[in-house]
Amino acid sequence: MEQFTQEFLNLDVMAKVAPYLFQGLLQTLLLCSFLIPIGLVGGLLVMLLTTSPYRVLRWPAIVAVDFFRAFPPLVLLVFVYAGLPFIGLRVPALLAVAVAFLINSASYYGEIYRAGMVSVPKGQREAARSTGLSATQALLYVTLPQAVRNVLPDLLSNTVELIKLTTLASVISVPELLHSANLARSLTYNSSPLILAAIIYLILLLPVVRLIARLEHKL
């Protein structure tokens, strides 16, 4: 027990590395601040393509979505970061993260929006159009809001997944929370920094996970 506390819950070590982990946390929040919006907007565009009435738009989009849902995000990230420099495109780590996450999360968000759109009865759109709204207006003011409301728990839970995925950036040395914790672990020869990082993730995400569980049971 003594040994366990010493290795995992060492308060001295935690206090020493806390400022450093805080820097990592800021980097994680910075990542989230642009990865979530580009994923949400990218997903919307993907949904418009996969639900398009034109087959030439719809089918390639569906194939691309399935392809990237089968593509592990880490493989995508390593491919963008380590592969592209070989043809002379040196991508900064943050840009590689943005590109890989955009491709990955737009596919996932796109599928969620699509499920939401399918759940909105056809009559809603037809009624909106017959009152004189343009196609864009019908989408923005009538069908999309209902679709989003219907799949809100799924959108939230995918956002939690996206935040958890930001830890992958540590593999290409972006100094986010898990990366700084792991570096602190190797410098202190003690695992408490990793536990501290885990606690920070729990504080950030546990309330959202609880909220999702409640929303899901209410529906």
Query: Does 7 help bind another protein (rule: CB under 8 A)?
Result: yes
Spatial CA neighbour of 172 closest among 91, 86, 104, 103: 91
Q: Which range touches another protein (CB under 8 A), out of 15-23, 33-41, 131-139, 166-174?
A: 166-174
Q: Which is nearer to another protein, 8 or 20 (CB)?
A: 8
How many chain residues touch another protein (CB under 8 A)?
51
Q: Which is nearer to another protein, 7 or 133 (CB)?
A: 7
Report, in Å, the least distance between residue 150 CB and another protein: 11
Contact positions vs another protein (CB under 8 A): 3-4, 7-8, 66-67, 69-76, 78-79, 82-83, 86-87, 119, 121, 160-161, 164-168, 170-171, 178, 181-182, 185, 190-191, 194-195, 197-198, 201-202, 205-206, 208-210, 213, 216-217
